[in-house]
């Protein structure tokens, strides 16, 4: 609020200065001596609107964002142009510049903001050296529909090295290139990061290889007023940042019923697991931990398997795909891990009812982060789709880059 108030004071000071000029002009006749010193030789001074032309017109409403904002004089020169934008209770100056001929001012950013009021104050000299001042206002179009982006991971999170930045949009995006240009993902230390669209509602970003531990990633969303689809404009102007923690990659071998857990390249443990039974095999490929739940309910009807199971208290559940693949604790088949594959597609670790801290499932849960990689091999199913969860690591780099809308 302090910054907004400061801007409002500066805008008010600029307006007061302009109104002072207007008062001087109003108080001086063409024949009086006055500060202009023009006498009556030139006749009545022209009206300010004849000396200073402002587009859009004073008092305009519903001005479209692509309509140009211009200030010009037919002769003489512009002395001072002050433009202020008020939007969402925030007041800010609109930067711009006067052309080399001194006759035209234009903003540095051509596109107008939506749902905003613009105030334009101008002081200029006409071709006879007479000073004029003008004050105009206009308001811009208020869209009926907006879209927002839901960003994963969360702001200020610490994540595993396999994290993929994923944006899901509240509306389908028709102009994907415009939206893509309004999103910037950067890293420190720097690394090449490229986008990939999955349909019209999701935009993911990743580097060629897993992030290096300690990398700081920033996601800048400059989506406000971007037209994502006809008549549908973005609402957000925000930044999300996260930090990449240590590296942890776990290799699940469905044929051997084991999971090797490696931390920063070193083997921590080999844990017995149970994978999908022959009728419901587990996906092969690289999956990323998307969410971690101490306990959750798993109902087969939610994943299209009828009434095969309904377990209300599955412990240590880590989500791997949107289609319902989890790595979780298993207390109802305690003899299966390390021996047989009995699940409906999930990866199960030995656990106890309520979740035990000293069980294989509890041990792994306590050492995991959202963004960790779990790779499954030797299962009798296909490779997980790149858009099923954060499965983008199963796509080659060239194919990934081809998914950009900006060519």
From first to last of its 407 residues, the chain has per-residue pLDDT tens of 344 444 444 444 444 444 444 443 343 333 333 333 333 345 677 888 989 999 999 999 999 999 999 999 999 999 999 999 999 888 999 999 999 999 999 999 989 999 999 999 999 999 999 999 999 999 999 999 999 999 999 999 999 999 999 999 999 999 999 999 999 999 999 999 999 999 999 999 999 999 999 999 999 999 999 999 999 999 999 999 999 999 999 999 999 999 999 999 999 999 999 999 999 999 999 999 999 999 998 887 777 777 666 889 999 999 999 999 999 999 999 999 999 999 999 999 999 999 999 999 999 999 999 999 999 999 999 999 999 999 999 999 999 999 999 98
Q: Which of 348, 308, 356 has the alpha carbon at shortest distance from 332?
A: 348
**Residue 351 contacts residue 315 (beta carbons within 8 Å):** yes
For the chain, the first-to-last Cα distance in angstroms comes to 41
**What is the predicted pLDDT for the residue at 93?**
97
Q: Which of 253, 292, 293, 291 has the alpha carbon at shortest distance from 273?
A: 253
What lies within 8 Å, CB to CB, of 300 at 6+ separation is 306, 307, 308, 309, 310, 344
**Residue 175 contacts residue 229 (beta carbons within 8 Å):** yes
pTM flag (> 0.85): no
**What is the predicted pLDDT for the residue at 310?**
81
Q: Which of 195, 202, 197 has the alpha carbon at shortest distance from 172?
A: 202
**What is the predicted pLDDT for the residue at 305?**
72
**Does 145-245 match 248-394 in CATH topology?**
no
Instruction: Please state which of the four CATH numbers 2.60.40.3780, 3.40.50.720, 3.40.50.1220, 1.10.357.10 is assigned to the domain occupying 2-139.
Output: 2.60.40.3780
Neighbours of 398 (CB within 10 A): 8
> Cα–Cα distance between 66 and 63 in angstroms, integer?
8
Q: Which of 264, 289, 315 has the alpha carbon at shortest distance from 370?
A: 289
> How much of the chain is in helix, strand and coil states, percent to nearest 5?
15, 40, 45
Among 196, 328, 344, 378, the one annotated catalytic: 328
**Residue 388 contacts residue 348 (beta carbons within 8 Å):** no
Q: Where are the domains of the chain?
A: 2-139, 145-245, 248-394
- In a 3-state reduction of DSSP, which class is residue 390? coil
Establish whether 346 is a catalytic residue: yes
H helix or E strand, kind and range, residue 50: helix 48-51
Q: How far is CA 46 from CA 54, 129, 340, in A?
A: 16, 12, 94
CA angle 198, 249, 379 (to 5 degrees): 70
Architecture of domain 248-394: Beta Barrel (2.40)
CATH of domain 145-245: 2.60.40.3710
**What is the predicted pLDDT for the residue at 300?**
74
- DSSP per-residue letters across 270-290: EEEEE-B-TTSPPPBEEEE--
**What is the predicted pLDDT for the residue at 42?**
55
- Please state the φ and ψ torsions of residue 147, each to the nearest 5 degrees: -130, 155
- In a 3-state reduction of DSSP, which class is residue 303? helix
Establish whether 378 is a catalytic residue: no
Among 280, 316, 344, 346, the one annotated catalytic: 346
Outline where DSSP puts E strands in 289-346.
Answer: 291-299, 310-319, 326-330
Q: According to the 3-state scheme, what is the secondary structure of the chain?
A: CHHHHHHHHHHHHHHHHHHHHHHHHHCCCCCCCCCCCCCCCCCCCCCHHHHCEEECCCCCCCECCCCCCEEECCCCEEEEEEEEEEECCEEEECCEEECCCCCEEEECCCCCCCCCEEEEEEEEECCCCCEEEEEEEEEECCCCEEECEEEECCCCEEECCCCCEEEEECCCCCCHHHHHHCEEEEEECCCCEEEEEECCCEEEEEECCCCCCCCEEEEEEECCCCEEECCEEECCEEEEEEEECCCEEEEEECCCCEEEEEECCEEEEEEEEECECCCCCCCEEEEECCEEEEEEEEEHHHHCCCCCCEEEEEEEEEECCCCCCEEEEECCCCCCCCCCCCECCCEEEECCCCCCCCCHHHHHHHCCCCCCEEEEECCCCCECCCCCCCHHHHCCHHHHHCCCCCC
**Residue 375 contacts residue 312 (beta carbons within 8 Å):** no
């Amino acid at each position: 609020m302090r910054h907004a108030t400061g801007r409002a004071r500066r805008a008010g000071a600029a307006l007061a200065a302009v109104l002072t000029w207007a008062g001087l002009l109003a108080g001086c006749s063409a024949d009086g001596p006055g500060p202009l010193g023009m006498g009556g030789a030139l006749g009545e001074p022209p009206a300010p609107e004849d000396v200073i032309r402002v587009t859009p017109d004073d008092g305009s409403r519903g001005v479209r964002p692509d309509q140009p904002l211009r200030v010009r004089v037919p002769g003489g020169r512009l002395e001072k142009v002050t433009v202020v934008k008020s939007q969402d209770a925030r007041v800010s100056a609109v930067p711009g510049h006067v052309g080399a001929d001194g006759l035209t001012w234009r903003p540095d950013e051509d596109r107008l903001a939506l749902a905003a009021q613009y105030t334009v104050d101008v002081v200029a000299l006409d071709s006879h050296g007479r000073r004029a001042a003008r004050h105009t206002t206009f308001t811009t179009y208020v869209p009926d529909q907006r879209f927002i982006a839901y960003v994963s991971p969360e702001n200020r999170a610490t994540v595993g090295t396999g994290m993929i930045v994923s944006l899901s949009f509240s509306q389908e995006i028709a102009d994907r290139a415009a939206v893509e240009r309004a999103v910037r993902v950067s890293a420190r230390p720097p690394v090449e990061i490229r986008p990939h669209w999955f349909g019209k509602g999701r935009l993911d970003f990743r580097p060629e290889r897993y992030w290096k531990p300690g990398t700081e990633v920033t996601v800048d969303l400059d989506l406000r007023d971007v037209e994502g689809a006809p008549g549908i404009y973005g609402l957000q102007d925000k930044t999300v940042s996260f930090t990449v923690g240590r590296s942890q990659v776990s290799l699940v071998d469905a044929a051997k019923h084991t999971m090797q857990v490696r931390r920063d390249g070193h083997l921590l443990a080999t844990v017995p697991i149970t994978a999908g039974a022959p009728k419901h095999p587990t996906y092969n490929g690289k999956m990323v931990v998307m969410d971690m739940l101490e306990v959750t309910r798993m109902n087969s009807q939610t994943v299209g398997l009828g009434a095969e199971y309904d377990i209300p208290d599955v412990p240590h559940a880590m989500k791997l795909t949107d289609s319902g693949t989890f790595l979780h604790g298993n207390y109802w088949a305690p003899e299966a891990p390390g021996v047989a594959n009995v699940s409906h597609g999930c990866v199960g670790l030995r656990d106890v009812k309520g979740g035990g801290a000293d069980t294989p499932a509890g041990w792994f849960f306590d050492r995991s982060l959202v963004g960790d990689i779990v790779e499954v091999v030797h299962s009798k199913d296909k490779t997980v789709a790149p858009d099923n969860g954060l499965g983008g690591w199963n796509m080659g780099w060239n194919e990934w880059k081809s998914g950009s809308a900006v060519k």
